[in-house]
Structure 1
Amino acid sequence: MEKHLKLGKKNVYSGKIALLLAVGLGLTLTGCGEGGSDQNTKTPRKETQNTMNSETVQPPVAKKIPHTMEIHGDVRTDNYYWMRDDERKAPEVLAYLNAENSYTTAKMKHTEAFQEKLFDEMTGRLKKDDSSVPYQKNGYWYYSNFSGDQEYPVYARRTGSMDGEEQVILDANKLAEGHEFFSLGGMAVSSDTTLLGYATDVLSRRLYKIEFKNLGTGEKLADILVDTTGTIVWANDNKTVFYIRKDPQTLLGYQVFRHKLGTDQADDVLVYEEKDTTFYTGLGKTRDDSVIYIYHSHTSKKGASVIDANKPDSAFKLFHPIEDGHEYSFAKLGNEYYIRTNWQAKNFRLMKVDATQTTDKSKWRDVVPHRNGVFLSDFELFTNHLVVREKEEGLTRLRVMDLAGGKDRDLAFDDPAFSASIGYNPEIDTDKMRVNYSSLTTPSTVYEYDLKDGSRAILKQDEVLGDFNPANYASERLFIEARDGTKVPVSLVYRKELFKQDGVNPLYQYAYGSYGHTIEPRFDSSRLTLLDRGFVYAIAHIRGGQMLGRGWYEDGKLYNKMNTFTDFIDATKGLVAQKYGAKDKIFAVGGSAGGLLMGAVVNMAPELYRGVGAHVPFVDVLTTMLDTSIPLTTNEYDEWGNPNETDYYEYMKTYSPYDNVTRQDYPNMLVTTGLHDSQVQYFEPAKWVAKLRDYKTDNNRLLFHVNMEAGHGGASGRYKRYKDKALEFAFFFDLLGIME
């Protein structure tokens, strides 16, 4: 449920059809008396004449069919369990979802022109004809480009230099033709540069089909590999590929196969099967192309198995035995491996070992020792240099170390809150390194650093069309004290002339807070639509992420999960107290596991928020984590706990949003999902919305939008995704009376 987000068009039946379907199938579309409100109160909002129809339409009210579940002597009754349809074909379920879509359309009808304006505003900031920064590998320069109104990129390469003749290797727009949804997964060129493997998904279930083409002739090969994760790794013989097959029910990638070009998938050789369903399985290849590895990833232990890429028929062997509590990853330089490990190092350290001695930890030697206050998050190797990415007090540092024993150097950055990461550097034998940089006021930038002297050059900075001037905006980084005394970092951005720290600005607060995933303070041009209307935008770096190191993650998982929710609430209170936002104009947003955060927060402190956006929300925690047939359940026991154990069950029940809906006032809420979501199944938010409608005691808006063509990532394509943003922003703006 590594849970991330969005909407669509072709999914909404007309109101009349949805009404007929719903009534014919026993659904009630009246009752509940829900209307808009100007505050989080029961006072109906005064509307102009053209919004009267949206105010009188009534929300769907789902029928109740009690479904009893008992474990550990505890009985729960789920009245909406019937909404689960794994085939996504049940007329009764589709009718209900379409009725919800029709209701959302009706309630937002008066904002349609405004939504179009917002969409045009956000997409108008994008440079239509745009290219990525080219990179060099095996004699070619590779890049991608967008053109005009195309939703997807075209991938191309040039021989020798960027002055060479362009060869289009893949046009994603042609592959997407005829499909409402399209996603390009892995794409890999063979070692001899003559063949391309690529993976596509047209349903949004993240079950990818892998196909191949000859780059010399453009001819498509007959080989087709289905039900894969989309990852493709070539052996050095240029005829063998490795891929991972998924379980079609749980969607867990667990079998690694070896495929020889020209043979049928049925003849592929199973080279590894993960029988422990608490593990994820990955595939990769070292940057020197000498080793292929299978990555074994569990929440609290990680490891790898390897083979020589020149000997694809050999058996995979463990790099080092997998041990409880031990996580390691590696990179190869010559005859040595550099290992990022948490062995006796909570915040990780970097070690190295001879390639023949990897299984013996006593032979591992420190390169970057463990430091309690510094989190070592990543590293990159070059022939003469080592670069490590570290976080100290939540700020990123890229440190360049001369492998010949020269002086260390920190790369310089400019903003108070920023994101800096090691870019794509496919070649090892170079003294140049690419770095991806962004801040809340600085558009995404690719720098090239000289590792010898630390000088830098901008290779590309995303162009923001229109009147954008970074000098008009300011960002801040502050710490807010949580209820247990912990200092929670918060990143802020606002438009200078529209902000006064006097508690009058609307505030948009976003967070995630799970899986150790850190929400970095990056630039997002769509955010300008909020800032230019006076919003303050805040990212709360709550526990459950790794902004302040590994301990920050551990303090927001398992029996510490409640810290994630209380940190968010306390950050809201702190921002209001420091007058960064008006107490009656606070909006909270989160998606996936961040949607779980929203569900918990509105149960615990609904009075704090004027509006909430909960996207693809993981809200039915207990039922999902007790059902091993649902994708991404067993391999997340170490994130949430295993509710088959009494103590975990009882703790999870204290915060599971669906189980804690109560009879109280809730904020205005917009909930979104995708029918084909493979990470958080559509029926979780569907049931949650139905229960909220039954329990909530206010007249505030509760809208539910289901993209009937998409999954966890929402609408596909470069532009269509902004329809989702336009809906959310219009929902919030409407609550404030902002209509332009």
Structure 2
Amino acid sequence: MPQAPLARVGNHPADPYRWLEQRDKPPVLAYLEAENAYLEAELADVGALRETLFQEIKGRIRETDLSLPVPWGPYLYYQRTTAGDEYPRHYRCPRPTDGSLRTDERCEELLLDPNALADGGYLSLGAFEISPDHARLAYSLDTSGDEIYRLFVQELDGGELHELPFEDCNGSMTWANDSETLFFAELDDTQRPHKLYRYRLGADEAELVFNEPDGRFFIHCYRASSERQLVLLSNSKTTCEAWVLDAERPEKAFICLAPRQEGHEYYPDHGRIDGDWGWLIRSNQDGINFAVYQAPEGSPSREHWRPRIGHDAARMIEDLSLNAGGFVLSLREQGLPIVEVHPAEATPYRVELPDAAYSLDVQDSLEFDSAAIRLRYEALNRPSQIRQLSLVDGAQQVLKETPVEGPFNADDYQSLRLWAEAADGARIPISLVARRDTLGRPAPLYLYGYGAYGESLDPWFSHARLSLLERGFVFAIAHVRGGGELGEAWYRAGRLEHKENTFGDFIAVAEHLIAQGFTSADRLAISGGSAGGLLIGAVLNRRPELFAAAIAEVPFVDVLNTMHNPELPLTVTEYDEWGDPHDPEVHARIKAYAPYENVRAQAYPAILAVAGYHDSRVQYWEAAKWVAKLRASRTDDNLLLLKTEFGAGHGGMSGRYQALKDVALEYAFLLKVLGLADSQR
């Protein structure tokens, strides 16, 4: 029987495992390595199952494939994955004169091979930006997972490579229209992008053009839809300030559209409006669900904004994009994404889709003058599709569907939209999928949740998830308050002093699924990552008997201590989400739900926690301290495992096969602790 590691208790009474925060110290590394070894020993009996799951999942993925080419100027740009490679390679070839998307391998050009750059280690590709004249490639690389990037410019004609002599970069790179000037952002000591620099290729130094001193605000620079303007956005969780610059004159100064006003969020885009160049601005100045305003090209400041699309309490305007043929709104109603098209010379319309619950995104990847746009669409039972939409008449064409290798029929799986009721009467949406022959009786159920930052968990398809569904699992998503599924009010009802709603909603969803006969407490597994890991930790402390197993990935479980440390990345800007615990009232509120502080002597379900050693968003020690305290406090002998990925950051392992192996490990853990592993060998 493997012996579980028992972390020593330190001399800090309120935080007994603070010593685990000493990065790279031998005792800390020894403890983390002991936990990894314990995990492997405990899962040794499902080693064959892990390999079976890995091969099974890999077998559904087309390992050698070509992405849908993007036409731009004289080229088609695309990626190709090859069996055995962790990363796709980036290519281009001459654009066919017949307007088709056919690629020609005989004259294609390899632009970037991340496999060679990774050399078997961690690699995250940040920027990948072709210059407007198509002569250069600007890209950035993170080789450890800490989200600090090195910047490169590749001459695509002669192949000469330049590493730019700048450190502490966030990885963003934005071209001006002269194809000589780049804008990039620098990180401060808390890894907040706070300075924007202008760099002309070949110069010895970069010029500082913007400095954001407020620790709540992050900066971001991007090209507008028209490609004629650059936008610099400085925003906190609740407030925005935008500055714009003519992309043809990058040496000039950025101009502010509207000085920041606490609580005012606005996001500008530039294009052709009613035949003239101008601005559309998405703003919440007249209501929390946003409205759209327009302004002339030469007068974008706030006093010139005129209403275009009014505020609607029943509809959230999440995004907008412009095209020469009109503009497109991304809306949200009743928890579902909706695309509304406003053609330049036709009646507005909404895009029709086949499923009741789905994900839908506008892909702003085609040229501004294109007569069509691309949409990315998927559902719990339907692999992702890239659809081309004709702006004038709304005609749709599926250009590519992500293939599922082997036997697969979407109609074998039923996708449902359900509603649970919280204690205060709020109705919480649930998205659910299962094989049709699974429904109708209690089954093992995997319940996923997040509930923070206004992020929406729209239903998504997963090749890996089929391995659970084919083994009789049900998969469900709890769209709890704190997310954005039902608009801004839904988000606000799950943050700051209302954070308890997030946890109560998740418990209500679990109880509803049990009451409706979809599952039972001894077959219910829950999962969440990052802020969703906080959710998992909080509900485990409150209702451990309601769940049989839990997976917490890079979990934000040490929230009170983290929010007390403004030197850590993200802490100051996160005050708008959780509150500043230096305020005694806020301190008491966070302490009441913080997972680490509320671990106590009671029986917990089986738990697997996963951390990234180089994670700059949720430090590795959060999961480590939480597991250490659980191990010392719990009254059960259920499996409790901690896996620290020493070569990863917040997003886990970077290669596609490495990521699949991690999924196989998690699924094997679930099958083991739910008593289903023996039948799977």
What TM-score do the two structures reach when normalised by structure 2?
0.96
User: 1:133 aligns to what?
Assistant: 68
Q: 1:375 aligns with which of 293, 304, 316?
A: 316
Query: Residues 316-327 of structure 1: matches in 2 within 5 Å?
Result: 316-327=254-265
Q: Kindly provide the amino acid, as one letter, of the partner of residue 728 in structure 1.
A: E
Q: Secondary structure at the match of 1:498?
A: coil
CA distance in 2, matches of 1:382, 1:220: 34
CA distance in 2, matches of 1:539, 1:223: 43
| Residue 64, structure 1, aligned to residue 9, structure 2 | yes
Q: Indicate conservation of the 8 Å contact 2:326/2:341, yes or no.
A: yes
Q: Secondary structure at the match of 1:660?
A: coil
Q: Indicate conservation of the 8 Å contact 1:287/1:426, yes or no.
A: no
Query: Residues 219-238 of structure 1: matches in 2 within 5 Å?
Result: 219-221=160-162, 223-238=164-179
Q: Kindly provide the amino acid, as one letter, of the partner of residue 182 in structure 2.
A: V
CA distance in 2, matches of 1:345, 1:394: 19
User: 2:385 aligns to what?
Assistant: 445
Deviation at 1:223, TM superposition (A): 3.1
Q: Indicate conservation of the 8 Å contact 1:223/1:263, yes or no.
A: no
CA offsets per residue over residues 18-63 of structure 1, 9 Å max, x none? xxxxxxxxxxxxxxxxxxxxxxxxxxxxxxxxxxxxxx21111111
Query: Residues 39-78 of structure 1: matches in 2 within 5 Å?
Result: 56-67=1-12, 77-78=14-15
CA distance in 2, matches of 1:181, 1:222: 19
User: 2:297 aligns to what?
Assistant: 355
Query: Residues 62-211 of structure 1: matches in 2 within 5 Å?
Result: 62-67=7-12, 77-85=14-22, 88-161=23-96, 162-163=102-103, 165-177=107-119, 179-211=120-152
Q: Secondary structure at the match of 2:39?
A: helix
Q: Indicate conservation of the 8 Å contact 2:359/2:379, yes or no.
A: yes
User: 1:580 aligns to what?
Assistant: 518
User: 2:198 aligns to what?
Assistant: 258
User: 2:357 aligns to what?
Assistant: 417
Deviation at 1:719, TM superposition (A): 1.5
User: 2:99 aligns to what?
Assistant: none
CA distance in 1, matches of 2:148, 2:598: 34
Deviation at 1:458, TM superposition (A): 0.8
Deviation at 1:270, TM superposition (A): 1.2
CA offsets per residue over residues 627-683 of structure 1, 9 Å max, x none? 011111001100000111121111111101111111111111000101111110001
CA offsets per residue over residues 676-700 of structure 1, 9 Å max, x none? 1111000111111111111101111
Q: Secondary structure at the match of 2:112?
A: strand
Q: CA RMSD in A?
A: 1.2
Q: 1:476 aligns with which of 407, 416, 428?
A: 416
| Residue 214, structure 1, aligned to residue 155, structure 2 | yes
CA distance in 2, matches of 1:704, 1:453: 54
Q: Kindly provide the amino acid, as one letter, of the partner of residue 83 in structure 1.
A: L
Q: 1:686 aligns with which of 607, 617, 624?
A: 624
Q: Kindly provide the amino acid, as one letter, of the partner of residue 306 in structure 2.
A: R
Q: Secondary structure at the match of 1:526?
A: coil
Deviation at 1:424, TM superposition (A): 2.9
CA offsets per residue over residues 202-249 of structure 1, 9 Å max, x none? 1100000011111011121253433211111112222211100112x3
CA distance in 2, matches of 1:684, 1:343: 38
Mean alpha-carbon deviation: is it higher for 550-559 or for 251-260? 251-260
Q: 1:289 aligns with which of 218, 227, 231?
A: 227
Deviation at 1:499, TM superposition (A): 2.4
Q: Indicate conservation of the 8 Å contact 1:156/1:166, yes or no.
A: yes
Mean alpha-carbon deviation: is it higher for 201-210 or for 224-233? 224-233
User: 2:325 aligns to what?
Assistant: 384
Higher relative contact order (CA 8 A, sep 6+): 1
CA distance in 1, matches of 2:615, 2:127: 19
Deviation at 1:322, TM superposition (A): 1.1
Q: Kindly provide the amino acid, as one letter, of the partner of residue 140 in structure 1.
A: Y
CA offsets per residue over residues 542-583 of structure 1, 9 Å max, x none? 000110010000000000000001100110001100111123
| Residue 329, structure 1, aligned to residue 274, structure 2 | no
Query: Residues 32-43 of structure 1: matches in 2 within 5 Å?
Result: none
Q: Secondary structure at the match of 2:625?
A: helix
CA offsets per residue over residues 288-335 of structure 1, 9 Å max, x none? 222222111111111211222222222222121111111011111143
Deviation at 1:261, TM superposition (A): 1.4
CA distance in 1, matches of 2:248, 2:290: 32
Query: Residues 656-695 of structure 1: matches in 2 within 5 Å?
Result: 656-695=594-633
Q: Kindly provide the amino acid, as one letter, of the partner of residue 354 in structure 1.
A: P
CA distance in 1, matches of 2:520, 2:663: 23
Q: 1:398 aligns with which of 326, 339, 358?
A: 339
Q: Indicate conservation of the 8 Å contact 1:211/1:224, yes or no.
A: no
CA distance in 1, matches of 2:428, 2:11: 42
User: 1:31 aligns to what?
Assistant: none
User: 1:19 aligns to what?
Assistant: none
Q: Indicate conservation of the 8 Å contact 2:269/2:322, yes or no.
A: yes
Q: Indicate conservation of the 8 Å contact 2:226/2:322, yes or no.
A: no
| Residue 649, structure 1, aligned to residue 587, structure 2 | yes
Q: Secondary structure at the match of 1:537?
A: strand
User: 1:32 aligns to what?
Assistant: none
CA distance in 2, matches of 1:289, 1:408: 24
Query: Residues 543-582 of structure 1: matches in 2 within 5 Å?
Result: 543-582=481-520
CA distance in 2, matches of 1:251, 1:306: 24
Q: Indicate conservation of the 8 Å contact 2:122/2:647, yes or no.
A: yes
Q: 1:431 aligns with which of 363, 367, 371?
A: 371
CA distance in 2, matches of 1:296, 1:223: 24
Deviation at 1:342, TM superposition (A): 0.7
CA distance in 1, matches of 2:209, 2:314: 41
Q: Secondary structure at the match of 1:672?
A: strand
| Residue 536, structure 1, aligned to residue 474, structure 2 | yes
Query: Residues 455-534 of structure 1: matches in 2 within 5 Å?
Result: 455-500=395-440, 502=441, 504-534=442-472
Taking every aligned residue pair, what percent have the same amino acid on both sides? Answer: 39
Q: Secondary structure at the match of 2:378?
A: strand
Mean alpha-carbon deviation: is it higher for 202-211 or for 158-167? 158-167
Q: Kindly provide the amino acid, as one letter, of the partner of residue 29 in structure 2.
A: L
CA distance in 1, matches of 2:258, 2:368: 24
Q: Kindly provide the amino acid, as one letter, of the partner of residue 209 in structure 1.
A: R
Q: Kindly provide the amino acid, as one letter, of the partner of residue 349 in structure 1.
A: A
Q: Kindly provide the amino acid, as one letter, of the partner of residue 688 in structure 1.
A: W
CA distance in 1, matches of 2:461, 2:525: 19
CA offsets per residue over residues 417-467 of structure 1, 9 Å max, x none? 111111133312122111100001110000001122211111100000011
Deviation at 1:519, TM superposition (A): 0.5
Deviation at 1:163, TM superposition (A): 4.8
CA distance in 2, matches of 1:223, 1:585: 53
| Residue 592, structure 1, aligned to residue 537, structure 2 | no
User: 1:244 aligns to what?
Assistant: 185
Q: Which consecutive unaligned segments of at least 5 residues does structure 1 have?
A: 1-55, 69-76
Q: Indicate conservation of the 8 Å contact 1:223/1:262, yes or no.
A: no
Q: Secondary structure at the match of 1:722?
A: helix
**Residues paired across the two proteins, number:** 667
CA distance in 1, matches of 2:258, 2:662: 45
CA distance in 2, matches of 1:235, 1:681: 36
Q: Secondary structure at the match of 2:376?
A: strand
CA offsets per residue over residues 127-166 of structure 1, 9 Å max, x none? 0111211111222211111011111011011122245521
Q: Indicate conservation of the 8 Å contact 1:321/1:359, yes or no.
A: no
User: 2:638 aligns to what?
Assistant: 700
Mean alpha-carbon deviation: is it higher for 612-621 or for 422-431? 422-431
